[in-house]
Amino acid sequence: MPETTIDVLDKGFIALDGALASDLAVVNGARVSFNQESDELSERDEGLIRFLIRERHGSPFEHGYFRFLVKAPLFVVREHHRHRAGHSYNEWSGRYSKMEAEFYVPDNVRTQVGKPGSYAFEPVDDAIREATRQEIEENAARAFETYERLLEQGVAKEVARTVLPLSTYTKYYWSCNPRSLMHFCGLRNHESAQFEIRQYAAAAESFLERLMPITHAAFVGNERRAP
Ligand SMILES: Cc1cc2nc3c(=O)[nH]c(=O)nc-3n(C[C@H](O)[C@H](O)[C@H](O)COP(=O)(O)OP(=O)(O)OC[C@H]3O[C@@H](n4cnc5c(N)ncnc54)[C@H](O)[C@@H]3O)c2cc1C
């Protein structure tokens, strides 16, 4: 695992596969309006980044990209791929190649209390947790056995895969620009987001913080609202 890979959940990860992202590019994207350019980031430039985020001048944050390789369970992917503006995805196809028997088995088994729109999640007791984990594991193993049996009988992969559970791991490339990444993190690295996608969003956000520290600090200082 390279340094740019962060393990997520029990078998997943998010890896930064490539990036063209800097605070300086944001500043120069804005300063070109006045036919000006900075060679290195000054305090004044840092103030400009905070101003751009606060006043929702978003386009200077679009001149960069992050390319990630992500391994995640299907139900996380469904949530992730709802993010459209400034995001691109290419995913492993269960039509063209056989899926692998890798399934998410949650450590964080919780119960839901409250009413629609304002649920809270609390841990279940150890006995229920263990029983739940076992059920999920056994169910996934059974589903994969069926999947393989159907394939052996000559059923097409695109049909056989329909028996696989939402916990099945898949892989995909995800590219986005800094503005769209902030929007994603504002929504998904948030207490209202499901625990599992939040782990991926937190990992993705750590790459934003690493490569664009001033932009990230301004985003956090703006109540985590993207411009
Ligand atoms: C906690 C949580 C719970 C959710 N629950 C559900 C749910 O129960 N059911 C469900 O279906 N989805 C649900 N979603 C998904 C949610 O509705 C969004 O699809 C998802 O968060 C992507 O947000 P977005 O559209 O702002 O992002 P993007 O698709 O990246 O869009 C970014 C921004 O671009 C603009 N934009 C993009 N497309 C359009 C468009 N077609 N027209 C106008 N403006 C556009 C908007 O300003 C938008 O905010 C949930 C999301 C969260 C975070």
Tens digits of per-residue pLDDT, 116-164? Answer: 878 899 999 999 999 999 999 999 999 999 999 999 999 999 999 999 9
Element (H, E) at 20: strand 12-20
- What mean pLDDT comes out for the span 7-24? 97
pLDDT on residue 119:
84
Active site residue 188: yes
Cβ–Cβ under 8 Å, residues 179 and 227: yes
**Ligand 1 and 80: CB distance under 6 A:** no
Strands 87-91 and 110-115: unpaired
**Ligand 1 and 224: CB distance under 6 A:** no
Q: Which mutation among 61, 75, 84 tests ligand 1's pocket best, with the greatest number of atoms within 8 A of CB?
A: 84
Cα 83 to middle of ligand 1, angstroms: 6
pLDDT on residue 1:
45
Nearest-CA residue for ligand 1 atom 36 is 85
Portion of the chain with pLDDT greater than 90, in percent: 94
Q: Which mutation among 78, 87, 174, 187 tests ligand 1's pocket best, with the greatest number of atoms within 8 A of CB?
A: 187
Answer with the residue of higher pLDDT: 119 or 44: 44
Phi, psi for residue 125 in degrees, rounded to 5:
-75, 165
Nearest-CA residue for ligand 1 atom 27 is 83
Q: Which residues of 6-27 are buried (b: 16+ CB within 10 A; e: fewer)?
A: bebbeebbbbbbebebbbbbbb
Tens digits of per-residue pLDDT, 77-87? Answer: 999 999 999 99
The rounded mean pLDDT for the chain is 96
Cα 1 to middle of ligand 1, angstroms: 32
Between CA 179 and CA 182 the distance in angstroms is: 5
**Ligand 1 and 89: CB distance under 6 A:** no
Q: Is the pLDDT of residue 94 over 60?
A: yes
- What mean pLDDT comes out for the span 47-74? 97
Catalytic residue among 44, 110, 161, 188: 188
pLDDT category at 2 given cuts 50, 70, 90 is low
Cα 91 to middle of ligand 1, angstroms: 20
Nearest-CA residue for ligand 1 atom 31 is 85
Total-model pTM: 0.96
